Amino acid sequence: MFEIAPAPKGMPVSWKGHRYGRDGESLGALSDLEYDVIKAQGQHKDWSAQIVKEATINDLSKEAIDFARIQYKEKNPQLREEIDSWSDTLFLNKAKITIKGKITNSAILLLGKFQQKFNRKLRHIVGRI
């Protein structure tokens, strides 16, 4: 006996050589173009989660981190006392602003001091957002 591997999450499943997708309340056959668009969606990297190799926590504003901590406590009141005991690094990791202590593009955008070394890189990116 063998197991059929599930389709990748979010990918349309084919039946008798045709792929189907939602069309309002019903299912309809997908064109090759529609299928290619869906397939390509999973191939894009999340820019905001990419690590900025040259950045450190010193490139983030302490005031911005403190403000983010206040906002996080409002959203998670059950963790209020625990959050106060976390280091900045632990807080940023738990809030998913950094990844394993490494600074992400979103951390620079949300909390960065915008020092000169990041200005050129971010100037053209922020203009696209």
* Separation CA 42–CA 11 (nearest Å): 9
pLDDT at 6: 52
3-class secondary structure, 40: helix
Instruction: Please state the pTM of the whole predicted model.
Output: 0.59
pLDDT at 10: 62
pLDDT at 118: 58
pLDDT at 67: 94
pLDDT along the chain (129 residues), means of 10: 51 76 78 81 79 91 94 94 95 96 92 67 52
Phi, psi of 98 (to 5 degrees): -120, 165
